[in-house]
Structure 1
Amino acid sequence: MIYSHKKAIAKPVIAIIAIIIIIAVVAAAAYILFKPAPERNYFKIGVILELTGELSRGGYTCKRGYDLWAKVVNDKGGIVIDGKPYKVELVYYDAKSDPAEGAKAAEKAIADGVDFLFGPYSSAVCLGTIPVIDKHGVPYFCGSPESHLIPEKKSPWTFQFLVTTKETPIPLIEFISKLPVKTVAIIGADDAFSKSLAESFKAECEKKGLQVVFYEIYPVGSADLSPLITKIKALNPDVFINAGHPSNHVIAMRNSKEL
């Protein structure tokens, strides 16, 4: 069986590395282009994160990375623009693991006068906030979300750093296709990231001539996947792929062991 939980836990860390490398240049350029210089000597950055709810584990992983970035930048004197250093202040807003709540959080952050925004852990919350971002014209840096639906929104204010869910499965399925594997079962949670990823896994499998013998999207928040796994077990596929977040993989692995 193949589970992507290791990747899901690691992707916020990868995202933060990308942000650390480019944020000073991107944030400064975006600020100069889109807003006048502030009277204060620091950047006020709103951070939309899933601090409560089902995705809070991923949200707090991102928070640790954002906090580390802010400490490193401030310890080095801040972001320098035209010879003047600007330190950074992070202000967190809870998206509550819900796209609608994420949109409310973005509205609140913008009303509070943030200079720009850092995005959430999940693709679902990111997609839910983009209309607010575009309405107000605030730069929005999203280091963790991967859904290929994000670039399809063509938001001029949203910057996505990672490869999308269309590209993520390619190397894995390329590797699997070279093994003595013929059949694959795929399930995924019904959220923007997981569903996009499941769809891409299915498309890549079919492209490589692998037979997808089972494919199903299960509801967000499902606490028991044993009915699906029972069906998959009966089909005895060579490979079982679960597209989802860490909590989804924990449940799938537990149910698999029980069966």
Structure 2
Amino acid sequence: MKTVAIYLGANRSLTTISSAMLALHPEVTVLNHAFVRIFADQSCDFTRDPTQDKLDAFVRTAEAMALGGERGAVGGHILHSHAFSDGALRDAYLDRYGEGAKPDTQCLVWKDATRVTNHLIHHKIALDDLARRLPSLRFVMMVRNPVDITISSIRKGYAAALVGEERKDSFIDVFTHMIRLFGWFAPAAQANPGQFRFLFQDELLDPEQLGALCAFLGIADTAAWRDDIARLIQLRESYPIDEARKASLQAVVMRLIPDPFVARRVAEQIA
């Protein structure tokens, strides 16, 4: 296993569709959710005790869990992800790989962004130190239009995990929480681009960026994989907002994210 890639940020951020894209790759195994199960075993928690032995235990357990499980927080096989409710996507995966282990996995991807991020923040785990001590780790922060993340999180019942029960219905509270998460990740991405990467919505299907993502994860950039993405992956349109609201929210982004490049790129996602 060359790399272990971990999604950070929040659910409803295109982590599901992007991890489905990665799951189509022959060298990638994706563990869908399963945070509570896997970190119930302290020998697998490489975040609070960042040793190679802990990371190796995590990888062994994650690979086993990625062959079974169920939908929702229990997690497991990527086929339990709601992205694979799409018949064409599911059939394409099964035709290529079946339900068993892939023989040539080079990268393990863990998709449980909200729970992992909350865990890291709660335990005051320094991202830069974690990456330095475990150089095979890769961290990915998906940046979907933050308006879409906010509306979707509130409507689908995910907002409480971000801001708590009392504020879960507040658009501005959920929105600003997301923007602050991008700001939290930005210093690590700037200082260590070899282990930390923003993946923006407007570049998710871009061929050049797909190649860069493969290089980041240590996997081959294959024509068959790109063809599968072009044929099977589609992004939904954003929720509409008027120009005045758009400008107001973009101003919030520029104010809350200190890194001007990241702030501009996040603001650009607001359609």
Task: Give your verdict on TM over 0.5.
Answer: no
TM-score where L is the length of structure 1: 0.31
- Greater percentage in helix: 2
- Which of the pair has more CA radius of gyration? 1
- Greater percentage in strand: 1
